[in-house]
A and B are shown apart, each in its own frame.
Chain A
């Protein structure tokens, strides 16, 4: 643990970032993101096609044997920084990270090959739930059929395939066989949907993993998801800081640029300091995920404990320091605020991850 892997960005990662950013600036400017929120369709299908077909980002972390690019979670993390920065509405985190990590962990090679070509999958667990934390009322699976409901699943409305953890197994269900009901969502750029597999006959399901293989696979997918979500939060926070710095450097009140007031400067300096720490922990988590380091569970929960707080702080400061304009629909700040707040709930809150860290590093809670 005193041997810290490189937390810097490689030249390849810098090039990848530039390519993704240029694509997003042309095809997903915030005005388009905002405009799409008025529509009924979750997920920007056109942008998804550009990212997966033109840039080949769907199978980035997958091996070439299943049609992937043979890179690692480190590169995926850089893509997520850019997607967070542009607050894009694509199911990258849910499909390319969470579903792919689970498919990889259960050895579903056929599914991985589909994912590498840009097929969209979602893990049917509430987005707030850490995957390795048992849900109270999971869907029931028997004799090749699945029954029950799962609320608030991110990336489900966009999905072709659903991966469903049930008691003692992970099963695969075609999205077309389930009723997927999008609901108005706190995060307008990553909408959640309720999934209903039906109560009577249920939906057809095939087993991907059973019994003993399940907990480890879910733990791996949970850790990778938490680790990589941190990079999306980092990109979002960095963009909120930049927008705010630009604004306070232009806005005049009392005959001065408001950015010359220490009351504002100090808040932004604190935010910058926090983001520098968020970058270090996010890079560490991505590096641990990339090589499946034994410190990954700590790194992932550490990253969530830090980045959830920092991204939310950045988005809240962005609204506050923009003043009235920051509270309007026509300004992009609210897109970031909603994403940041939802991200802070995703895969467990910061508080949940702090307690997880405590359990992992032998700092037990108070005995009752």
Chain B
């Protein structure tokens, strides 16, 4: 399903925003009622089709709409709490779901009434995602799913999951996969918190034991799961764009403030490291801005894959330097108890937490090593690694 942008101007969308605000004054309207009305007016994501929360306009108009709502004090859809739904599920549904499925899922997804998660990774399928071993067996109008998924953020909050499973063991690994949308309240779905080295449980393990999924919840054809997955993963990397952050907003901010506020803790050997990281942070900010500008004119560059790599390196180095500059406080930790993080409020944690949490930045969403392979093979066109597993039936792979 494709969206063809028609002409729209900042003035005309702001007029629509004003009309909606007049009909549903934020102060006197229930939060969800307001968000539903915003969706129905096509002002949720203007580049989506009409009837699916959009107006078929150019995506570059969205910041104008968001700013106008924010200026009027309207509630937002708390996007931090539904990153997978908004960033990955929505574009995948737009491309592969039937009109009926889209009508069912899109609105509560956008309003945040229904949170989404992603059941992709498994203990035996991390970087090598196409090796997934969870199976689905056809049974009448349903499929019966068995297996174990892991690293599932938000699974404990989610109404729906994007699910990748193996439907044919006799085909090579990329060809025997099928993609479903799973109702997380289905019997047999068991979500268990996965405690991380920070102490908290941001992720989950999800066990699937004879879980029934209707065939009507399949996205794409049987055996086409890998292709659908690519759409989901591509949007994971595109999601980086958006508004340009102000200078010092990211990982370097707290470190620079520490330096300014505590002259006695300054250290000559840390000074050049601080300046190197400040320069890196500003270079990355401008690189993101340039990527955003490319996206706006409809010419997305491949810079996104490099940015993830570079942001991970910066966040890790900056949080480590912060510990060096934090004096004796560096040795205090705030809370080792196992708890669920709340993504909808700013995280106020000690530098030690950030030092630990940023270790995951180079692992989650594709390890830095995998990102380098992607850049080398897809951007630079270097010869592919020898892949002996590509063309033999999945069931015959060594494991």
A and B: bona fide binding partners: yes
Give A contacts to B, CB under 8 Å.
1-2, 4, 6-8, 245, 248-249, 256-257, 259-260, 262, 264-266, 268-270, 272-273, 276-281, 283-284, 302, 305-306, 351, 354-355, 357-358, 361-363, 365-367
Query: Is B369 located at the chain interface by the 8 A CB criterion?
Result: yes
How many angstroms between the C-alpha atoms of A269 and B366 in the bound complex?
A: 15
Taking A260-B385, A363-B274, A366-B271 as contacts, is the C-beta distance between A265 and B372 under 8 angstroms? yes
Q: Which residue on chain A has the smallest CB distance to residue B294?
A: A8
Assess A363 versus B279: contact at CB under 8 Å? Given A7-B290, A280-B286: no
Q: Which of A276, A278, A284, A361 has the most CB of B within 10 A?
A: A276
Per-position binary interface string of chain B over residues 262-286, scored 1 when its CB falls under 8 Å from any chain A CB and 0 otherwise: 0100111001101110111011101
CB pair B376–A1 under 8 Å, yes or no, is no
In the complex, what distance in Å separates the CA atom of A306 from the CA atom of B306?
Answer: 16
CB neighbours (8 Å) of A269 from chain B are 306, 309, 371-373, 375-376, 379-380
Q: Chain A contacts of B386 at CB under 8 A?
A: 256, 260
Q: A361 near B287 (CB under 8 angstroms)?
A: no
> With A7-B290, A266-B372, A358-B271 in contact, do A302 and B283 touch (Cβ < 8 Å)?
yes
C-alpha gap A154/B337 in the complex (Å): 63
Min Cβ gap A242→B in Å is: 9
Query: Can you sample 11 A-B contacts with CB below 8 Å?
Result: A4-B293, A245-B381, A265-B382, A269-B372, A272-B306, A273-B310, A280-B287, A280-B289, A305-B275, A358-B271, A366-B267
- Decide: A2 and B247 in contact? CB cutoff 8 A: yes
Name the CB-closest residue of A to B297. Answer: A8
Interface residue B200 (Cβ < 8 Å from any Cβ of A): no
When the two chains form their complex, are residues B293 and A358 in contact, meaning their CB atoms are under 8 A apart? no
Q: Considering the complex, give the chain A residue whose CB is closest to the CB of B293.
A: A8
Distance A2 CA – B263 CA, assembled complex (angstroms): 28
Verify B286–A4 contact, CB threshold 8 A.
yes
Q: Hey, which chain A residues are within 8 Å of B290, CB to CB? A: 7-8, 279-280, 283
Query: Which residue from A1, A6, A367 sits with its C-beta under 8 Å from B263?
Result: A367
Task: Please report the C-alpha to C-alpha distance between residue A133 and residue B297 in the assembled complex, in whole angstroms.
Answer: 41
Chain A min CB distance to B266 (Å) = 5
- Known contacts A284-B286, A358-B275: A249-B381 contact under CB 8 Å: yes
Most buried by A among B275, B280, B371, B373: B275
SS class, residues of chain A in contact with chain B: helix
**What's the Cα separation between A7 and B282 when bound, in Å?**
14
Q: CB-defined interface of B300-335 with A at 8 Å, one 1/0 digit per residue?
A: 010100110110000000000000000000000000
Q: In the assembled complex, which residues on chain A have CB atoms less than 8 Å from the CB atom of B64?
A: none
Most-contacted residue by chain B among A264, A280, A357 (CB, 10 A): A280
A56 to chain B, nearest CB (A): 29
Q: How far is the CA of A313 from the CA of B193 in the complex (A)?
A: 44
Q: B interface vs A, CB < 8 Å?
A: 244-247, 256, 259-260, 263, 266-268, 271-272, 274-276, 278-280, 282-284, 286-287, 289-290, 293-294, 297, 301, 303, 306-307, 309-310, 369, 371-373, 375-377, 379-386
| Identity of the chain A residue whose Cβ is nearest the Cβ of B382 in the assembled complex | A259
Shortest Cβ gap from A250 to chain B (Å): 10
Q: Which residue of B lies closest to A277 (CB)?
A: B283
Contact indicator A277/B244 (Cβ below 8 Å): no
Asked if B278 and A361 sit within 8 Å, CB to CB, the answer is yes
Task: Give Cα A89–Cα B381 distance, bound, in whole angstroms.
Answer: 31
Chain B residues within an 8 Å CB radius of A265: 372-373, 376-377, 380, 382
On whether the beta carbons of A358 and B385 are closer than 8 Å, the reply is no
Partner of B383, one of A4, A260, A270, A366: A260
In the assembled complex, which residues on chain B have CB atoms less than 8 Å from the CB atom of A266? Answer: 369, 372-373, 376
For A1, list chain B residues within 8 Å (CB). Answer: 246-247
Residue on A with the closest CB to B288?
Answer: A280
Docked CA distance A4–B289 (Å): 7
What are the residues of chain A within 8 A of B282 when measuring CB–CB?
Answer: 281, 302
Chain B residues with Cβ under 8 A from A276's Cβ? Answer: 287, 301, 303, 306-307
Is the beta-carbon distance between B384 and A260 smaller than 8 angstroms? yes
Cβ of B260 and Cβ of A362 under 8 Å apart? yes
A7 with B293: CB separation less than 8 A:
yes
Supposing A8-B290, A268-B382 touch, asked if A273 and B376 sit within 8 A by C-beta, the answer is: no
Give A228 to B183 CA distance when docked, in angstroms: 57
A277 vs B245: C-alpha distance in the bound complex, in angstroms? 16
Cα distance A88–B75 in the bound complex, in angstroms:
58
Q: Are B385 and A262 within 8 A (Cβ)?
A: yes
Q: Give A245 to B382 CA distance when docked, in angstroms.
A: 7
By the criterion CB–CB under 8 Å, are A249 and B383 in contact?
yes
Given the known inter-chain contacts A354-B272, A354-B276, please indicate yes or no for A2 contacting B383, CB distance below 8 A.
Answer: no
Alpha-carbon distance A354/B272, docked complex (angstroms): 8
Output the least CB separation between B84 and chain A (Å): 26
Given A265-B376, A363-B260, CB of A260 within 8 Å of CB of B289: no
Q: Which residues of B contact A256 (CB under 8 A)?
A: 383, 386
Q: Is the CB of B376 within 8 A of A366?
A: no
Residues in A with CB closer than 8 Å to B297 are 8
A357 pairs with B279, CB closer than 8 A: yes
Find B275's partner among A264, A268, A363 (CB 8 Å cutoff): A363
Verify B289–A270 contact, CB threshold 8 A: no
The smallest beta-carbon distance between A50 and chain B, in angstroms, is 32
How far does the alpha carbon of A117 sit from the alpha carbon of B234 in the complex, in Å? 51
When C-beta atoms are compared, the residue in chain A nearest to B266 turns out to be A366
- Bound complex: CA A357 to CA B380 (Å): 33
A367 and B268 alpha carbons, distance in the complex (Å): 9
A273 touches B375 (CB 8 A): yes
Q: Min CB distance, B132 to chain A, in Å?
A: 23
Q: Which of B245, B297, B372, B376 has the most CB of A within 10 A?
A: B376
Tell me, rounded to whole Å, the shortest Cβ–Cβ distance linking A73 to chain B.
Answer: 17
Residues B289 and A365 in contact, CB atoms below 8 Å apart: no
Are B247 and A281 interface neighbours, CB within 8 A? no
CB distance from A293 to the nearest CB of B (A): 13
